[in-house]
Amino acid sequence: MTIALRRPWVRSIAAVSVGLAAAFVLPFLVHLLPADGGPPQGARLLPIFYAGLVLVLRGAPIPALAVAVLAPLLNRLLTGMPAGTMLPTVLLELVLFTLLLVLAVRVLPASVARFLGPVAYLVASMIARPIVVPDVQPLAVLTTAVPVAWPGLLMLLAIGALAGATRNGARRDQAVPRV
């Protein structure tokens, strides 16, 4: 088993599989929570973003991008969520979110990059929603996203703090071990 996991493609398939499972199960469980008549719980807690955040911070950017593309499609196919125009919006938000995090991990110290999940979500939303729904202004997205999604933004912050950022499988603040 350990020999097979040394092959990069096996690690990538494993990372995508675990990421897709998390990006399916977490939103499914969150949508089971009772809604209080406001926005759906998924829009509040942002569970579909957690797996991509962890994958990027743990040094798996390609699997994170695969999960960003496949997770909304898988969720829509199996649960009907995200519904309506939210599918292209969530899909684009996830891809932009992941790309922004990949860039942050590559250019910033790990001590900074690991806390940028909420910022990446807000920037991705400000870019994606006006593209999908042209009448929406980017600042309007910001003024509605923060009051609705603040619990999810806090979750992204906490997950980033716990996951840490890596490069090539080792923390960027540490030396990369030679094998």
β-bridge mates for residue 160, sequence order: none
User: Mean pLDDT for the chain?
Assistant: 87
Place of tokens 């900074």: 112
d(CA 119, CA 109): 16
Q: Is 128 helix (H, G, I), strand (E, B) or coil?
A: helix
d(CA 90, CA 128): 8
pLDDT band at 37 (very low <50, low <70, confident <90, very high): confident
What phi and psi, each to the nearest 5 degrees, are found at residue 173? -80, -10
β-bridge mates for residue 170, sequence order: 167
Domain range summary for the chain, segments of one domain joined by +: 8-32+43-171
Place of tokens 């942050």: 104
| Fold classification of 8-32+43-171 (topology level) | Arp2/3 complex 21 kDa subunit ARPC3 (1.10.1760)
Q: Which two tokens stand for residue 4?
A: 């097979």
pLDDT given for residue 8 in this prediction: 74
pLDDT for 47 beyond 90? yes
pLDDT band at 57 (very low <50, low <70, confident <90, very high): very high
Place of tokens 């996951």: 163
Q: Is 176 helix (H, G, I), strand (E, B) or coil?
A: coil
pLDDT digits (tens, 9 = 90+) for 143-154: 999 999 999 999
pLDDT for 4 beyond 60? no
Rounded to two decimals, the pTM is 0.86
